[in-house]
Structures are given as structure tokens and as C-alpha cells.
Amino acid sequence: ESWFCVNFLDRRRKVWCLPGERNLPQNVVLHDRIGGSSVMVWGGISIGARTELAIIENGSLTGQRYRDEILRPYAGAMWPDFVLMDDNAGPHRARLVTEFLEEEDISRMEWPARSPDLNPIEHIWEQLQSRVQARQVPLGALVELRTALLEEWQAIPQQNVQNLISSMQRRCEAVISFRGGNTDY
């Protein structure tokens, strides 16, 4: 899942770096909290398909909401031998979520926490944000933001998703090469 803000026009900081210094820790800013009017969305991707974009309304995502609003509707639609990849967020690791996955016989990929270099969905979120920003949604227009998110999610070419997933081996090799540090991915 990801947060999208109505006032997120361009919150990135620009840093000039010498060649080879782009991913040094002092040149990378991590963001954990989002302020202002915002919506949380969830989407699932695979080589050949994606889920509908789910907009999580009325508050934050809890383990129970994750199980009931995300996993229950989508888990049954997955193919045999499906493996779930999440980002180790608290709601994903709640006991009732783990129990649900065991009951439904859904395997979960072991995955390091805070690893956006590896998780292909993070790059899809970046594409979605760029597409929504290009629409110039008016500041404070939460309804328009929701509409733009839903439309632009569907407009992202499936080939983009497939390319990101197909690059996983190279991504993992880069992270190993950088000893767990940030990569160009």
C-alpha cells in the first residue's frame, strides 16, 4: 500500500552529487509519515495481471482491516501456488493476518523490512504518483485525487509491471553488491 496526498506536488529534495555518491546515506532521505489530506491505496501486481486499486477509507490500516478489506477479497482470486509479497508493515504481520494466511494456505515470501529497492510495487507507486501529478489535481481536492488514482492505476501499462518483476534478479544482485545499501533501482 501507499499514501497519496492532495498537496504532494513535489516534496522531493534535490541534491547535487558527484558521480557514485547518489546513494550514500547522507544523500538519501527516508519518509515514514504523510501529513495533510491523503488517501491510502493498496494494489497487487503479478507478471500477467493486477488487482483493482483499493482505496482504504476512514482511518489507518489495521491487521483486521488488512485481512478483511484486502486479503479476503483478493486471496480467493489468486491462482494456485500464489506467494504473497508484502513489506513487513505492522498490519501485515498481525497474528490474525498470519492465521488467515495459514488457514487459506497462502505462502508469504520472506522479505527484509524497508526494502524499496527490491519491491517492484514501490516503483509502480512512483509511476502512479507521476501520472497523477501530471493531471494537476487541485490542492485539497480529495475526491478528484481518488478519481485520478483509480484511472491512472488502470492506465499504467502491464508491460511496466512485467518489466519490474522480471528485473528482480538484477535488483537482488545490486543490493548484495551494495551490501544492503541503496541502489540505482
CATH number at residue 126: 3.30.420.10
SS3 5: strand
pLDDT at 179: 83
CB 93 within 8 A of CB 110: no
133 occurs within a structural domain = yes
184 occurs within a structural domain = no
183 occurs within a structural domain = no
182 occurs within a structural domain = no
For residue 98, pLDDT over 70 is answered with yes
For residue 155, pLDDT over 70 is answered with yes
157 occurs within a structural domain = yes
144 occurs within a structural domain = yes
Instruction: Look at the pTM and tell me if it is higher than 0.85.
Output: no
60 occurs within a structural domain = yes
What the block records as the C-alpha cell of 66 is 488488512
Beta bridge partners of 45: 50
40-71 confidence digits (pLDDT tens): 999 999 888 899 999 988 878 899 999 999 99
CB 70 within 8 A of CB 175: no
**Domain total of the chain:** 1
For residue 32, pLDDT over 70 is answered with no
Query: What is the domain range of residue 56?
Result: 2-177
For residue 34, pLDDT over 60 is answered with no
